[in-house]
Structure 1
Amino acid sequence: MQADIDFSHYLRDTGAGLVHLDLAVEGINCAGCMAKIERNLSSIPDVTSARVNLTDSRLALEWKAGTLDPALFVTRLAELGYKAHPFQRDAAEMREAQRSQGLLRRLGVAAFAAMNVMMLSIPVWSGIGSDMLPEQRDFFHWLSALIVLPAAAYSAQPFFASAWTALRSRGVNMDVPISIGIFLALAISVVETVNHAEHAYFDAAIMLIAFLLAGRYLDQNMRRRTRAFAGNLAALKAETATKFVSPTEIRTVPAAAIKPNDMVLLRPGERCAVDGNVIEGRSEVDQSLITGETLPVTATPGSAVFAGTLVRSGTLRVRVAAASGDTLLAEITRLLDQALQARSRYLRLAERASRLYAPVVHATAFLTMLGWLAYGATFHDSIVTAIAVLIITCPCALGLAIPAVQTVASGALFGSGVLLNAGDAIERIAEVDRVIFDKTGTLTLPELDVANLASIPTETVKLAGRLALSSRHPVAAAVARAAGASAPLPDIAEEPGQGVHGTWQGQSIRLGRPSFCNADDLANEILCQDPEASVVAFSHGETRFVFAVRQQMRPDAAEVIAALERRGIAVEIVSGDREPAVRRAAATLGIHEWRAEVSPVDKIARIEELARQGCKVLMVGDGLNDAPALAAAHASMSPVTATHLSQAVADAVFLGERLAPVLTAIRVSRKALRLMQQNLWLAVIYNVFAVPVAILGVVTPLIAAAAMSGSSVLVMLNALRARAKEAI
């Protein structure tokens, strides 16, 4: 049936002759499943990438265009024992919700049955049992069987179905030994009851199922909680847009039908479906996803708006710059998906260990049974000990050790405005001991701002801002933004290379070069005080003012630099900008080591020099000339305003006007790395102590189930510590 699906709607051209397809895969429960699927599908000729996202059970495939039928992947997955569908977020969320509810129902049945059976077992296992007639004991055992067998058949379905699927495809997974353990515990209990034995283990079998279901339900809920970050992004995506089909006629169309240079209308309460620039109107908008600021900002003609922006008050007319899959919101979603599919050397280690688990644990349990039989134990005692070994060695803790931390840390970073773009980014960022900042657009804000606004009368600023709206020059645009101007002056002309001019209240009004406004003396005075500033003059009759325009430092730059140095991380500036500008920035931020007028080749040379000295460098830059240095550094970050090439090369992208995400990335990554190591040690120490204890016959299957589930819960709780926030 699946092979008959038309996959053309779900395919995406990624460029470079590659095609991308996302499949939702049912039955993925652990790192071993991930490795099995990736290993098999990657072996298909012309497949360039096969990555499984454990968080939402999604398989991302890429292959050479025109070489493979997508139905082949569904067929191959079916041979491996997995059912696959084209991935659709809403449908996937519904399936996951149904699966979570199913686990909860089965857990309820198992827990209810366990409570009743424990009550029946008390008289048998306690001293009362010594005065109990064999017929009475048999009655309690049969009553326990009547409760447990149907409850186990229903509650253990997730494990039985997964194990049967693996065996049918001639493979094994972690549910195979679990299912064998449950089946043997039930079987031996029935045999003991038929033979009028003193003890049966129905209580242990149903409690084992309850513990396993509790652990799997907690794991599922943790993944769903992290998927909420991606779900929040999906909720921000508008499915339709109001398009101008003529200067006076509008029509609601699917967002996918919008093209660059189209004109769209945004009304109060609507979410923007495109990236673009405001042509007409004024409104308060919420674009916290992009800027990181929770307070609304004012959008006026010339302002940029992004997909996902919520319009709060007025109506805006917007010219489209990017739509559909080319918007910044779509790019952020892709970066987040990559972060959730991330691989690290610790995760690869856990995957290899999970692959070895099944044959090792089966062999260990079998040898344990043979050893006890050779030692003189009864077959009953030997098989019970083997069951305990099967159960207690479940690698759930090992399988969750790294993915749980990565998932929580990726979500915490996203919540702080950091999007990971590389599988091992967390590990490499955690290791850095030196940060190199580019200056322009990195330590400074990307947009120009008026530096001497306070020294110019408010009315003059407003008038100059309205005049500046008639100019396309970026320096004039800075004046317009600073003034909050939204209504351009009428009858304004532009003189190329000089500025704009007109008449206002019967007097000549000009904005442009100082010589154009007869304000050279004022401009020279400002340039002597602030040599890195750009100047734009304004004249209205005999009144003249000069605006000093330059990029401002990010508002928290000095605070972040100080915090980095307190953590023992050295900081320096390596910039291609002029020496006076770099010197001023370094002095303002308290950075003692800086280099100016540095070429891209020299930036790489500096990073290589530090690497030879044993430094692990984090490069933070935004320009096209920074891309080679970003690639050469041990780890790298770019602001969201960076060029596409820089964003593609960087290990992480950060949002907003603040520099704090750089510090947050280092702090969270260091903590996540510690938690990964702790979780691996927890899993190893648990098995080092638990397996010998089980082999020695000290623990029952019930205690083994509690220990195994407890280790998994402990690993997940430890991973959740990656969410904790710390002050700068």
Structure 2
Amino acid sequence: MADSAETLVEDARTCYHCGEPVPEHAPWSLEIGECRYRLCCPGCEAVAHAIVDGGLASYYRFRTALPERPRQRHDIHAEQWSLFDDPGLQSRFVQGDDSSAHTTLAVDGITCAACAWLIEHRLNALEGVIGSAVDLTHHRLRLEWEPHRIALSRLLAELAAIGYPSRPFEPDEAQQRLQRESHRQMRRLIVAALGMMQALMFSLPFYLAGDAGLDADFDRLFHWLALALTTPVVLYAAQPFFQQAWRDLRARSLGMDVPVSLAIGSAYLASAWAVVSGQGEVYFDSVSMFTFFLLFGRHLEARARRRGGAAGNALAELLPVSATRLDDDGESRLLPASELRAGDRVLVKPGHVVPADGVIESGASSLDESTMTGETQPVARCVGDAVTGGSQNIESPLTLRITHAGRDTRVAGILDLTDRAFASRPRIALKSARLAHHFVLQVLLIAAVVALAWWFIAPDRAFWVTLSVLVVTCPCALALATPTALTAAHGRLHRRGALLTRADALEALDGIDRVIFDKTGTLTTGEMRLIDTRTLEDDDPRYLCAIAAALESHSEHPIARAFHPYRQPDVVADDVTRQAGAGLEGRIAGTRWRLGRPDFAASPAPAPPDDGHWLLLAENDRPRAWFALEDRLRDDADTTLATLRLAGIEVELLSGDAEPRVRALAEQLGIDDWQAAMSPEDKLARLRHHQARGERVAMVGDGVNDVPILAGADVAFAMNGTTDLARTRADVILLTPRLQRVADAIGIARATQRVIRQNLGWALFYNLLALPLAACGLVPPWLAAIGMSLSSLVVVGNALRLARPGSFRHLITPVSS
């Protein structure tokens, strides 16, 4: 057992990580809090730091056995990661079972889309890996694998081997790491900017002197000064390009940093040789300018990704680090929020953030849920209402009973669904990535041909013309065209209250021809109220309401909430089964009861009292009571349908309710295509009918009975507050009760595809125009650097329009426009 973390063990003779003897004067150590612990080798040091940096320092307090020590000190790839195969440690950050497991890792060293391609390409080629996808916005990796075929340690070792060491994702640590990387990027940009300005200052006299030239002493002085100023630009500011190029070559792939590094490195070395030897051309200004513009373009790209993913970062940091738990005697105690469990009582003071999902036991207040739902107005909550972890209490203190904590909270579920969205790449993103990587090979081949041709035409110009070709055709704009637009669109959708759970959803939404709506809980609010009870025999209405409430307690349908106030603790239903679209059946005190549609509850089915929304309660096929329910139409239902029709999208209503109620709602909303009394099988058949005609169909639903059609639709929308089963089948989850978000999602998807096509068209047009000009020697290296940078900035700026509020104001436009 390891020493307590509260004891300083600077003079310990055994390794704090593995327990092996520590060599005398060993320099390796580990800091936890204010304590420093000695380690025996660099392998233990690497693993220990990975554990602590990943937010898992508590492992050392709770472990019951020491891990094996790496057999060789220089082996820091395979064996140092074996600790992460420990089941106890994996339980903190891995979900799944022996057949399939998934986790989210924080990855170091990511600089651009080429890094994402290399990581995914390398991991997906391993046997036992189901899928991997990099989230460029947050430098996270979503990894899914088969534990019985490949160990997690092997995957971590593979990442480290190609230059991307990874650790379990923890929001606080990841945010600090991203901030450090942002500061390093800014320092490199400043060094490149200063070097570029000074190099240009010393190069300007040569351009102004013309054919006469400068005095030999000034000529040599200015060249040496330019060399001194450009050297830190190349060795420090341009370091990420060389590192990424080396990773690409080690992985036997050609990323866009390969030609970039060739251009920077060869131009610098050739210019430096010209200064030392006194012969040849000097292009230090072009080297520093190329480096600066590349860094500036990537800086803008990173800012766009961070701004587009701000909602995801906010969610990851939404839950507070501490909470005030109330003991049984009412005493309060401050403790880490991670230690909360279901059933705990917590106090949330005004201005504080709710630490976990729960139900209000006492108090009433307004809560700000804008980060999760996109709704800017606070919502009122009182005793009995459910509240979501991450909401901010505004007015009065609340006492909550925790229902879900930690990984079970809604925030954690949303983050998991967000990661799932990045577990695959849209087809258009895959195509553009392949195009960019094939383009790199073609650029290198063309550069070689140009160099050979100019060697015979004008040997003194061959090198600099080839350099211009490498610079001007750098496929940065091509690589940025799709991921920047997708990131901006994801952020815009999240701020509007729509969460994508599948990467292809945006592309699929762009081509939707028809939207099918469910009725209860979709076009209506789903907040059912029991407004009338009519007994058919001389029975106590309260008892029959309790019978119905006992049956509905086993359901997640919106109807169940209408009976919740009538539950009695001594009336309990057993063996409850649900027939989707029909009703519930169960046993109470040994008697079989049914609640639902008349033809399901009793045979023969009696006629309802009138045209309202009636449920029949029957005992052993004998009708006992009618229950009248009332639902309210969503405020924005009519405007949502009008917006969809304006866009040329057909609208249809499929409901399991009786014909009179469905007809009345369809007439109220002006829906011509509607079907009533539809079972889930009937709905799915109707969906298949439309798809067989070549239509692409979206389905909007909220309940268990909608699961089959949600799974079969081209795009599935799940309403706010939907069942867990429906959520797993959805491609888009609405985080707000506003139905208008369906139209917003389709509009943003159309705008995104339009921007992607514009970006790809511009990138290809620029390269096809610039390449022959550079190959003919008409574009000097400094102009090539400016042209390449401007091309990338055009792509990034165009994509950023998707993230700006107010842009694409009329997101949905008729298909003919």
- Normalised to the residue count of structure 1, the TM-score between the two structures is 0.84
Amino acid at match of 1:211: F
Are residues 1:396 and 2:476 paired?
Answer: yes
In the alignment, the residues of structure 1 paired with residue 372 and residue 239 of structure 2 have an alpha-carbon distance, to the nearest angstrom, of 45
Change (3 A) 1:33 1:581: same
Among candidates 182, 186, 211, match of residue 100 of structure 1 = 182
Among candidates 745, 753, 769, match of residue 673 of structure 1 = 753
Change (3 A) 1:650 1:170: closer
Amino acid at match of 2:222: F
Deviation digits for residues 380-400 of structure 1, max 9, x if unmatched? 310111111111121111111
Amino acid at match of 1:348: L
Deviation digits for residues 186-239 of structure 1, max 9, x if unmatched? 222233334545842111111111111111111121122223211211332133
Deviation at 1:422, TM superposition (A): 0.7
Listed as ranges, the gaps of 5+ residues in structure 1 are 453-467, 482-487, 498-525, 536-546
Q: In the alignment, is the contact (CA less than 8 A) between 1:555 and 1:657 conserved in 2? A: no
Among candidates 347, 353, 357, match of residue 271 of structure 1 = 353
Q: Provide the residue aligned with 1:643 in structure 2.
A: 723
- Segment of structure 1 superposing worse, 673-682 or 254-263: 254-263
Q: Provide the residue aligned with 1:658 in structure 2.
A: 738
Among candidates 155, 159, 178, match of residue 77 of structure 1 = 159
Matches within 5 A, 1:387-536: 387-449=467-529, 531-532=612-613
Q: Provide the residue aligned with 2:240 in structure 1.
A: 158
Change (3 A) 1:304 1:167: same
Q: In the alignment, is the contact (CA less than 8 A) between 2:94 and 2:102 conserved in 1? A: yes
In the alignment, the residues of structure 2 paired with residue 139 and residue 259 of structure 1 have an alpha-carbon distance, to the nearest angstrom, of 71
Are residues 1:332 and 2:418 paired?
Answer: no
Deviation digits for residues 104-129 of structure 1, max 9, x if unmatched? 22222222222222222222112455
Listed as ranges, the gaps of 5+ residues in structure 2 are 1-45, 48-78, 533-545, 553-557, 573-607, 617-626, 813-817
Matches within 5 A, 1:290-369: 292-340=374-422, 342-369=424-451
Amino acid at match of 1:46: G
Are residues 1:602 and 2:677 paired?
Answer: no
Q: Provide the residue aligned with 1:110 in structure 2.
A: 192
Change (3 A) 1:77 1:297: closer
Among candidates 115, 124, 149, match of residue 42 of structure 1 = 124
Change (3 A) 1:23 1:287: closer
- Segment of structure 1 superposing worse, 618-627 or 607-616: 607-616
Q: In the alignment, is the contact (CA less than 8 A) between 2:171 and 2:317 conserved in 1? A: no
* Secondary structure at 1:320 match in 2: strand
In the alignment, the residues of structure 2 paired with residue 14 and residue 580 of structure 1 have an alpha-carbon distance, to the nearest angstrom, of 46
Change (3 A) 1:363 1:451: farther
Deviation digits for residues 45-72 of structure 1, max 9, x if unmatched? 3222222112222222122245544332
Q: Provide the residue aligned with 2:543 in structure 1.
A: none
- Segment of structure 1 superposing worse, 403-412 or 714-723: 714-723
Are residues 1:234 and 2:335 paired?
Answer: no
In the alignment, the residues of structure 1 paired with residue 431 and residue 559 of structure 2 have an alpha-carbon distance, to the nearest angstrom, of 54
Deviation at 1:718, TM superposition (A): 0.9
In the alignment, the residues of structure 1 paired with residue 385 and residue 420 of structure 2 have an alpha-carbon distance, to the nearest angstrom, of 30
Q: Provide the residue aligned with 2:591 in structure 1.
A: none
Identical-residue share of aligned pairs (%): 37
Q: In the alignment, is the contact (CA less than 8 A) between 1:450 and 1:548 conserved in 2? A: yes
- Normalised to the residue count of structure 2, the TM-score between the two structures is 0.75
Among candidates 458, 464, 471, match of residue 377 of structure 1 = 458
Change (3 A) 1:332 1:193: same
* Secondary structure at 1:619 match in 2: strand
Write 1 or 2 for the structure with the bigger share of helix: 1
Among candidates 204, 207, 218, match of residue 125 of structure 1 = 207
Change (3 A) 1:680 1:282: same
In the alignment, the residues of structure 2 paired with residue 185 and residue 434 of structure 1 have an alpha-carbon distance, to the nearest angstrom, of 57
Q: Provide the residue aligned with 1:538 in structure 2.
A: none
Deviation at 1:168, TM superposition (A): 4.6
Q: Provide the residue aligned with 2:712 in structure 1.
A: 632
Q: In the alignment, is the contact (CA less than 8 A) between 2:307 and 2:491 conserved in 1? A: no
In the alignment, the residues of structure 1 paired with residue 396 and residue 329 of structure 2 have an alpha-carbon distance, to the nearest angstrom, of 19
Deviation digits for residues 536-594 of structure 1, max 9, x if unmatched? xxxxxxxxxxx985121111101111111111111110111111111111112111211
Among candidates 186, 208, 225, match of residue 307 of structure 2 = 225
Report how many aligned residue pairs link the two structures: 664
Deviation at 1:441, TM superposition (A): 0.8
In the alignment, the residues of structure 2 paired with residue 268 and residue 131 of structure 1 have an alpha-carbon distance, to the nearest angstrom, of 74
* Secondary structure at 1:580 match in 2: helix
Q: In the alignment, is the contact (CA less than 8 A) between 1:31 and 1:354 conserved in 2? A: no
Q: Provide the residue aligned with 1:517 in structure 2.
A: none
Amino acid at match of 2:443: V
In the alignment, the residues of structure 1 paired with residue 240 and residue 113 of structure 2 have an alpha-carbon distance, to the nearest angstrom, of 17
Q: What's the Cα RMSD here?
A: 3.2
Matches within 5 A, 1:13-32: 13-15=95-97, 17-32=99-114
Q: Provide the residue aligned with 2:16 in structure 1.
A: none
Deviation at 1:719, TM superposition (A): 0.8
Q: In the alignment, is the contact (CA less than 8 A) between 2:472 and 2:771 conserved in 1? A: yes
Q: Which has the higher contact order (CA 8 A, sep 6+)?
A: 1
Q: In the alignment, is the contact (CA less than 8 A) between 2:314 and 2:371 conserved in 1? A: no
Are residues 1:583 and 2:656 paired?
Answer: no
Q: In the alignment, is the contact (CA less than 8 A) between 1:619 and 1:635 conserved in 2? A: yes
Among candidates 249, 261, 268, match of residue 179 of structure 1 = 261
Q: In the alignment, is the contact (CA less than 8 A) between 1:54 and 1:341 conserved in 2? A: no
Deviation at 1:344, TM superposition (A): 0.6
Q: Provide the residue aligned with 2:601 in structure 1.
A: none
Deviation digits for residues 222-275 of structure 1, max 9, x if unmatched? 122223211211332133333344253444443333333343333323222222
* Secondary structure at 1:55 match in 2: coil
Amino acid at match of 1:590: G
Deviation at 1:290, TM superposition (A): 5.5
- Segment of structure 1 superposing worse, 221-230 or 68-77: 68-77
Matches within 5 A, 1:705-720: 705-720=785-800
Q: Provide the residue aligned with 1:63 in structure 2.
A: 145
In the alignment, the residues of structure 1 paired with residue 568 and residue 423 of structure 2 have an alpha-carbon distance, to the nearest angstrom, of 55
Q: Provide the residue aligned with 1:726 in structure 2.
A: 809
Change (3 A) 1:494 1:342: closer
